[in-house]
Amino acid sequence: MKKTIYYMFMMLVFTQMQAQKDFQGMAVYESKTQPPKLDGMRGPRDITPEMQKSMEERMKKMLEKTFILNFDKSASIYKEEERLENPGQQGGGMRVMMNSFMGGGGTFYKDVKNKSYTVDKEFMGKEFLVVDSLPKLNWKMESETKQIGGYTCYKATAVKEASKTDFRNFRPKNNDDKKPEEKKEDVKKTSGVTKTNFEDNFEMPKEVTITAWYTPEIPVNQGPENYWGLPGLILEVNDGRTTILCSKIVLNAKEKVEIKPSKRGKVISQKDYDETVIKKMEEFRETNRGRTLSAPPMMGR
């Protein structure tokens, strides 16, 4: 009798361990970034309010993306959902600049067990494989809760350093805070035929506040992009301008997905990659200095 009980206990333990090993889930996230208002920005005088509104709408659509997160107990891969582009939509300088700052596509692999990540990035025609340690956020657990897709989620907040190579972190410059002499200097610079770089209208904050909503009902230390470190899957995250919201969850599907890092590209640390991007973008800025802010066709998707 004791042997039977022991055998049943061992079988139960083995079954639970196997279930944890085979556990896998998939979450779909909708990412939306609030585009900056172009009102009051320095640019060509022939750009009408209607043109500005059209440009803002196109930028908004450009910043709407869908991502798929496949995860298990220890690792995950996060990748943008592939979609067909409209052949009639043309790219341009603005699109190139934004895609460069956004880091291109790629697969973001997170290994929460070893606290590391690997992401393949394409920047200005070159492929990089960024390998580094996962950023550790000092999450502050809040008491607020809300429902997302039928799951009870808890709020957590953190403050992190803003990435200088992520276009979404850029904020419009507040010219209202400038001194009178600084405003006069701006008038001199923009008198006559107005020529300016689009990025001259923006500035990078030193840090951003992150608000996340996670559910302990899915007890994995995972989330979209490089977010992790909470006792449950992160279903929503917001940094002030970008909101990433989970729209669908599938647990333990019959077909399993291979969760492994990419091996494509030149291996580089995050710091070295950021320095490379900043250097190239400064070169791009100098090359295009003096060119006017383009009309809407430049902002095709």
pLDDT of 294 reads: 44
Q: What is the CA radius of gyration of the chain?
A: 23
Q: Which domain holds residue 171?
A: 24-299
pLDDT digits (tens, 9 = 90+) for 116-174: 999 998 888 889 999 999 998 999 999 999 999 999 999 999 999 877 777 676 666 66
Domain assignment present for residue 3? The answer is no
Q: Is the pTM of this model over 0.85?
A: no
d(CA 274, CA 293): 26
Domain assignment present for residue 8? The answer is no
Which amino acid does the sequence have at 17? M
Domain assignment present for residue 15? The answer is no
**Structural domain total, the chain:** 1
Domain assignment present for residue 140? The answer is yes
d(CA 65, CA 80): 7
Q: Are 244 and 31 in contact (CB under 8 A)?
A: yes
Cβ density class 29-40: b for 16+ within 10 Å, e for less: bebbbebbebee
Q: What is the CA 186 to chain-centroid distance, rounded? A: 33
d(CA 163, CA 7): 54
